[in-house]
Structure 1
Amino acid sequence: PGAPGAPGQGGAFQPPRPPLGQSSQGQYGQQQAVRPDWAGPDAVDASAEADHTGTFSERWRRRGSDSRGERRADRRKHRRLLFIVGGGALAVVIAVVVYFLTAGGSGSANLGFGSLVTTFLPGELQKVPNACQSVPGGTLTQYLPGQLKVAAPPLNTGPQSECTWTLDKPPVYRVLEVNMQAYSPSGLAPGDGSATFAAEYAYAQDESAKQDPGPKSGQPKATITDLPGMPGGNDTVAFEAAQVFNAGGATTDVTTVYVRYRNVIVTVVMNGLDHANKGNYGPASPSQLSTAAETVANQVTGLLVH
């Protein structure tokens, strides 16, 4: 994503069937006569000669005997091959079963299927409050004084809720965003698969992205500050990321607070237009944006804990 929104820029087969090959059968499915490879030039008249010399019958008997012997040898080779392949597959299955049975006694190295958590644990949340109703009116009046525009329709799906408030009253331009997301058990993230671990992993990814944004992310490197004292005690961790965006002649200060309470992540973004390329906006106070984001994050997290 690029820089935050500014005034007038909005808020935040089936493959084709191959041609049929040439068939060795005739028009009505009858097999075409094919001279066998072993037939000599006199093969067609061999039956007539057999009455006089008897050599054809003898040759035919020997050929039948040889063919039966070759077929028996082929069958023996086929049985040996099946035995080797089947035995190898069985050995692989046995090795896998033994691995998962013995891995259970190796502590953190246990990779057996039974070690994954597939249900919500006690204390984990499956739903979050409505974000648009989570911020007290007094807080909105204090940090965004004036006529507010609320993003519609807000995202409110049960496990996730989001709301955005915008104040556009020169020289003040402020945008407040609140997002809450309850994570579910997942075996895709590293760890035990629990919902809390999924949230821990997402939280760490968010912090890393702020500390070291990719060159194509469009985001500047943030200043990270740990935030102790959020509601929830030892079940809660939080940090704040402060960034300054410069794009198109405008400067925007953005403060983001991330809070993880068990399996829920609360994200509060407060941005202010410090200098605009159009209109009479600014300046913005980074410290005031920080205070506003921390206050809202504290209040919203409190709804999850109580």
Structure 2
Amino acid sequence: MRDIIIIGSGPAGFTAAIYAARAELKPLLIASSVEIGGELMNTTEVENYPGFPEGIMGPDLMAKFQAQAERFGTEVVYDDVVELELDGLVKRVKLGNGGVEEARAIIYATGSAYRKLGLPEEEVFSGHGLSWCATCDGFFFRQKTIAVVGGGDSAMEEANFLTRFADKVYVIHRRDTLKASKIMQQRTFDNEKIEFVWNAEVTAIHGESKVSGVSLRDTVTGDVRGLDLDGLFVAIGNDPRTHLVHGKLDLTPEGTIAVEGRSTRTSVAGVFAAGDVIDPTYRQAVTAAGTGATAALDAEHFLAALGNEKAAEAVLETEFAVVD
């Protein structure tokens, strides 16, 4: 029986592990068998994470997260969680290898996945002119010509943000109307650096060592043409990785895990959530790390309350487990 199991190996998961390990809770972190390190593993240079004034490569940053967590005693397992049993005082985590781990507290920090275009070139050009995060990578496209794919508020926000750096920003949308709110549409229409490419979908991404252009198919006529670019940003949404807790934890209308106020306490006592699975808005490494620290502190307080039998019973009867 363990005190705490952390599911997820991004900034939220490893920060939670650092805090939990320093509190001598001896956390087990389940890091996945494939996608270890979260979305930062697909990022080249990270320049907006505090403490690295010269920037740092995404995989290098995550290696430092892991090394710091392990330094304080975190045990890392490279396997996938296939099933969770979250009711009662003992939580059970079933792994892909058939093993079952038990703990009194769970921190769920599996992050989110950017929706992709479904093109084979995405794997080739990710981090080499192809990005899913304008805030992360916009700086690298000063005085360049780039495009944003999407028609919702996120795409409009990305396009407007990118005009701070790029000379020209195309917005590529498969229809002739936008899903974005009226205010975001108008703001984008009014931006002189932005040009819309209507009724178009990206069918191929071109380049050698980095993106140099795309092929566009007209969704009305079927005609295909090329568009020269220095970079491509995909903003067609993202999905929190909550499939393991559907029907087990309450979710928000956005599909993220519902937590109480500014805490990380979920609808099940002893289960805490951190990072992109509770954040439909910011989705930054630094904000994820912050909620990871909060989750570890919330879990520590919860475990301390379990030392008192009456307090433990009261906690388990509460929809959102508030532990002072």
Q: What TM-score do the two structures reach when normalised by structure 1?
A: 0.18
Task: Name the one with the larger strand percent.
Answer: 2
Larger RCO, structures 1/2 (Cα 8 Å, 6+ apart) = 2
TM-score, L = length of structure 2: 0.17
